[in-house]
Amino acid sequence: MGIESKPPENADLENPRSDDWKPKFKRFFHEWIVTIAVAIVVAFFFRTTVASPRHIPTGSMIPTIKIGEFIFVSMFAYDWHIPFTRKAFAHREDPQHGDIVVFEYPLDPSKDYIKRVIGVPGDTVEVRNKKVILNGEELPTEVMADRAILEDLKPKYNPSHITLLKERIGSVSHYITYLDDHGPTDMPPKIVPPDSFFVMGDNRDDSQDSRYWGYVPREKLLGKAGFIWFSFDQSHPPFLRFNRFFTMLH
């Protein structure tokens, strides 16, 4: 009578099957796919409802925001947004004088613009000899002598041909610039209509804003600029503006 031999207990270890790796690989692959998918969903949820990172490629908000800077925009500053969309389902509050807002460009909603709120509904806004007149009163300005603020605006701008001022609107004091070789762009008094806002760039002579294309409707607002989290200057070594990192925007 033959004796049935039993395989050693560690036979599977000594002689692994060639396809034993497949279940482990599938499990590993599945876990990573799920992890990545969840991360993407959370990121899009965060971006559309809490804070949205934005890159600033133009100089219309110089010197407050410089070319090549990256900012975070508070998406819930004015509205509660439907997740994964740009649509708001409830208002929180309205922008105030001096707020820096991000909005859909009224003439082309595929583009997002960033400007400063100068006029709110009911305000009368006028521009005369490069001065902003709000409700009959000229916004206070003071010429600043600190040229170092403008040095990293090269090569697009020549700092010696720029006037730097500090302007006050409401409770906000901020820098603005004028190009000395650019003539004044006057605008007659205009009354800001309901549910609309008059906005301007801080780089007053190099900004396409409400002076040229009109008002920003309330429903076009996306959020309020919060802070600069990264600043890159492609024209000047060492290229990174470390002193601009995590600068709050006002």
Q: Is 36 left (phi over 0), alpha (psi -120 to 50) or beta?
A: alpha
Query: Which stretches of the chain are assigned E, i.e. beta strand?
Result: 51-56, 69-74, 79-81, 88-91, 100-104, 112-119, 124-128, 131-134, 137-138, 141-143, 162-169, 172-179, 187-191, 196-200, 216-217, 221-231, 247-248
Q: Is 164 left (phi over 0), alpha (psi -120 to 50) or beta?
A: beta
225, 103 Cβ separation under 8 angstroms: no
Q: Please give the structure tokens belonging to residue 88.
A: 């708001």
Q: Is position 87 annotated as part of the catalytic site?
A: no
Catalytic residue of the set 6, 66, 111, 115:
115
52, 75 Cβ separation under 8 angstroms: yes
Backbone angles phi, psi at 43, to 5 degrees: -65, -45
Q: Is position 115 annotated as part of the catalytic site?
A: yes
Q: How far is CA 75 from CA 18, 87, 97, in A?
A: 53, 11, 18
Q: Please give the structure tokens belonging to residue 37.
A: 């998918």
Catalytic residue of the set 60, 207, 210, 231:
60
DSSP 8-state assignment for residue 5 = P
Classify 20 as helix, strand or coil.
coil
115, 60 Cβ separation under 8 angstroms: yes
Give catalytic residue positions: 60, 115
